[in-house]
Structure 1
Amino acid sequence: MLRCDTWTGTLVPKAGMGFLRKKFAAAAVAGKILVAGGCARSSAVEEYDPDENVWRVVSEAPRRRYGCIGASVDGVFYVIGGLKIGSSGSDGLACGSRAAGAEAAHVYASSMDLYDAASRGWLRSRAVPGGGCVVAACAAAGDVYILSSHAVELSFWKFNALRKSDNFGEWCRIKSPPLPAQVRLDSTVRFSCVGVGEKVVLVQVVGCIDDLLRRSGRPERGLKEGLVLVYDCAGGEWTRGADMPEVIRRAACVCVEC
């Protein structure tokens, strides 16, 4: 692991995680870094203490996921979406048949596990209403925002993550991102999103629309990767941001206050 000092631009090597992971969930919670998923050998949840430069296993995740997304609100680490790895056994799902495997993948892709960092315990897992596959997620303004794909359309959801709120745990479907008409959803189009204050920034990180047009037999040029859309959490409206000047394929987004 490397620590980047955003003021000086320097990189400092730090202790590595105890388990090799790929496409895992990560989030900063109460001054620590929590990671989960992305490991075929273990369901361990690890916590990094930046003051001690030490990783510790703090829990075992209820689901062993791959390709999941992490977010943090109000002391809770959210492990969202992804695919099932092997047979964790904790949720009663088996991969003994193709049908069972497809069912497990669907359940994992639309579910969310909640880890309370203070009590070292797991809260009740939640599922995105209507199912679908989580393709992007982030925390902003005290809520968790989730973009879900339903094969031919996208839905956008807000999960009330303020634990002292009377509405904690409630879902609300909100306005979907206004994708240009040229953008046709398939496995080549992917997104990343990040909360910036009271806004959610959605970035298209994979999927050249030119390629989609060519595959459909249309020679004209369309939109490339780098589409940026901004959702105002307070106003409930989307706006189009400037496209990324340079495409970093499969990029992840992060927000730093300065």
Structure 2
Amino acid sequence: MNTASLHSIPRLVSIGPRVYIIAPNSMLRYNAWTHHVIPKSPMLVPRKKFASAVLFNKIYVAGGGGSRATSAVEEYDPEADTWRVVAHSQRRRYGCIGAAVDGIFYVIGGLKIGGACGNGNGGVEAHVYACSMDLYDVEERVWLRSRAVPGGGCVVAACAVAGFIYVLASHAVELSFWRFDARRKCGNGGGGGEGFGEWCRMISPPMPTQIRLDGTVRFCCVGVGNEVILVQVVGCIDDLLRRSGRSQRGLKEGLVLVYDSVGGEWSRAADLPEVIRRAACVSVEC
């Protein structure tokens, strides 16, 4: 197996106590109960910065790029340890985020890759990709209508919690936080599908308003129970303050914020004891 590829910003997903570490050319399975690590079959198409999620105990990946762009959506069967291509993406996204609710694989944000932009609309297309998401129904094997974040901006983090997709978007000088109703079926939080597709703007995370949130700041987002855990994994805000000529002390790299989806409030958790640049996060059943 190519262990060097594990340093190429792998994606993490979990099925029960098992964490799958998916790299461009390799994959590992880590058991959080036994602490055993074993190699598994790699994706059919090597890719970096792709979307990943779990539905019906199978892993789905889409988007990303590498030596060549691909539109292939792959499905991994843990029982058979095999990958197969099940669909092709409507948009080729690079740097996208994956989430899953009620049989739908959400491919969120990212940049446009591939294709010609000779019509002069390249910038418009890139913006559409950065603030939208594609929806793939894994049971029906069809794409549903794509959805755009109402406030625009660039999606920098997203995750699924209790039947909703929570999206954090950057607008260069501020962040906005949105909730998308992804409940299509009865019994998932009582939604019954009536509100499916509705967006609601939520309270933004309590970041200092004077900070310019440029490309040096990165976030990772994961759902745990009814909470959204937001982790700042790259970029020292103190450095941003110093470069802007401000003297006050900002928040350091490793900030952890928790959003209670029931109470609708943010709180600050303990900072990360050690920061791994461009880290990925995943929640595991214990």
* Structure 1 residue aligned with 2:274: 246
Partners in 1 of 2:263 and 2:246 — Cα distance?
A: 38
Give 3-state SS (helix, strand or coil) of 2:54's partner. Answer: strand
Partners in 1 of 2:243 and 2:234 — Cα distance?
A: 16
Q: Does 1:168 pair with 2:196?
A: yes
Partners in 1 of 2:53 and 2:47 — Cα distance?
A: 15
Shift of 1:130: 2.3
Please provide the CA RMSD for this pair: 1.4
Partners in 2 of 1:245 and 1:54 — Cα distance?
A: 37
Shift of 1:221: 4.8
* Structure 2 residue aligned with 1:223: 251
Among 59, 74, 96, the alignment partner of 1:33 is 59
Tell me the amino acid that sits aligned with residue 141 of structure 1: A
Residues 54-102 of structure 1 deviation map (CA, whole Å, 9 limit, x = unaligned): 0000000100010000001111100000000011xxxxxx5126x4221
Partners in 1 of 2:167 and 2:74 — Cα distance?
A: 24
Among 149, 153, 170, the alignment partner of 1:128 is 149
**Structure 2 unpaired stretches of 5+:** 1-26, 186-192
Asked if structure 2 preserves the Cα contact closer than 8 Å seen for 1:86 and 1:95, the reply is: no
Q: How does 1:192-207 map to 2 (within 5 A)?
A: 192-207=220-235
Tell me the amino acid that sits aligned with residue 31 of structure 1: N
Q: Does 1:209 pair with 2:230?
A: no
Tell me the amino acid that sits aligned with residue 196 of structure 1: V
* Structure 1 residue aligned with 2:159: 138
* Structure 1 residue aligned with 2:122: 101
Bigger RCO (CA 8 Å, 6+ sep): 2
Shift of 1:8: 1.4
Give 3-state SS (helix, strand or coil) of 1:124's partner. Answer: strand
Give 3-state SS (helix, strand or coil) of 1:214's partner. Answer: helix
Report which stretch shifted further, 223-232 or 183-192: 183-192
* Structure 2 residue aligned with 1:91: none
Q: Does 1:187 pair with 2:187?
A: no
* Structure 2 residue aligned with 1:74: 102
Asked if structure 1 preserves the Cα contact closer than 8 Å seen for 2:179 and 2:202, the reply is: yes
Partners in 2 of 1:133 and 1:41 — Cα distance?
A: 21
Partners in 1 of 2:212 and 2:42 — Cα distance?
A: 39
Residues 156-213 of structure 1 deviation map (CA, whole Å, 9 limit, x = unaligned): 0000001032000110111100113564311111111100000001111111112112
**Structure 1 unpaired stretches of 5+:** 88-93
Asked if structure 1 preserves the Cα contact closer than 8 Å seen for 2:172 and 2:212, the reply is: no
Q: Does 1:159 pair with 2:171?
A: no
Asked if structure 1 preserves the Cα contact closer than 8 Å seen for 2:69 and 2:113, the reply is: no
Partners in 1 of 2:69 and 2:230 — Cα distance?
A: 32
Residues 127-146 of structure 1 deviation map (CA, whole Å, 9 limit, x = unaligned): 10021110100000110000
Give 3-state SS (helix, strand or coil) of 1:102's partner. Answer: helix
Asked if structure 2 preserves the Cα contact closer than 8 Å seen for 1:182 and 1:209, the reply is: no
Tell me the amino acid that sits aligned with residue 168 of structure 2: L
Q: Does 1:234 pair with 2:255?
A: no
Shift of 1:252: 1.3
Asked if structure 2 preserves the Cα contact closer than 8 Å seen for 1:182 and 1:223, the reply is: no
Asked if structure 2 preserves the Cα contact closer than 8 Å seen for 1:140 and 1:200, the reply is: yes
Identity value in percent:
71
Shift of 1:220: 6.0
* Structure 2 residue aligned with 1:177: 205
Partners in 2 of 1:180 and 1:156 — Cα distance?
A: 15
**What is the TM-score of this pair, normalised by structure 2?**
0.85
Tell me the amino acid that sits aligned with residue 75 of structure 1: G
Partners in 1 of 2:210 and 2:273 — Cα distance?
A: 20
Report which stretch shifted further, 74-83 or 146-155: 146-155
* Structure 2 residue aligned with 1:8: 34
Q: How many residues are aligned here?
A: 251
Q: Does 1:50 pair with 2:78?
A: yes
Shift of 1:251: 0.9
* Structure 1 residue aligned with 2:22: none
Report which stretch shifted further, 107-116 or 177-186: 177-186
